[in-house]
Amino acid sequence: MLPPEKPLGLLIYTAQHWIRQAIVSRARPHRLSNHQFWALSCVRRAPGLAPGELGHWMLLDPPAASRLVAELVERKLVEARPDREDRRRTRLFLTEKGELLAAELQAIVDDYQRTLVRGLTDEEQRAMRTGLSKVAENLSSALDAGADRVAAPHRAARTGS
């Protein structure tokens, strides 16, 4: 017999599944992946992001962020311009084609956000943001600590300490 309450981890997993499905089903007609959808939304909201900043926001490692940007550039939705102050860096901007698509996608984002919080008071939304932020930080810290535990013996073996 299943317990009367779903464990919090399972609830988060279930919500994540439906969140992903809500976007994937609406992005597919535009031939966009989930990551491409959110990248366009992010660049529209914050023009001039560096690819690394976009990757950080989307929880992507640098190679994955680089591939994502390359896909969007290839589709002529985003352009990567040299940073005016540091020529080694690039900044991301929507192309005209990207802006038109991102403006259309904004209606999906707005509908998605309304659906996501339907029935939640402002106080409940704040509590969820706080709680989910703590959960994410807890898990991130635990993973970092686990990586440190795994790396420590290897460092010791290499350094002889």
Checking if the pLDDT of 126 tops 60, the result is yes
Tens digit of each residue's pLDDT (9 = 90 or more) over 98-114:
999 999 999 999 998 99
Q: Where residue 158 falls among pLDDT bands split at 50, 70, 90?
A: very low
Residue ranges of domains in the chain: 24-118, 119-161
What are the CA-CA distances from residue 99 to residues 28, 41, 73, 89, 102 (Å)? 18, 10, 13, 22, 5
Checking if the pLDDT of 19 tops 70, the result is yes
**C-alpha to C-alpha distance for 97 and 78, rounded to whole angstroms:** 8
Prediction pTM value:
0.77
CATH numeric code, 24-118:
1.10.10.10
Checking if the pLDDT of 154 tops 80, the result is no
Tens digit of each residue's pLDDT (9 = 90 or more) over 65-102:
999 999 999 999 999 999 988 888 999 999 999 999 99
Q: What angle (nearest 5°) sits at the alpha carbon of residue 105, between those of residues 99 and 106?
A: 90
Q: Where residue 147 falls among pLDDT bands split at 50, 70, 90?
A: low
The residue that leads in pLDDT, 23 or 151, is 23
3-state secondary structure of 90: strand
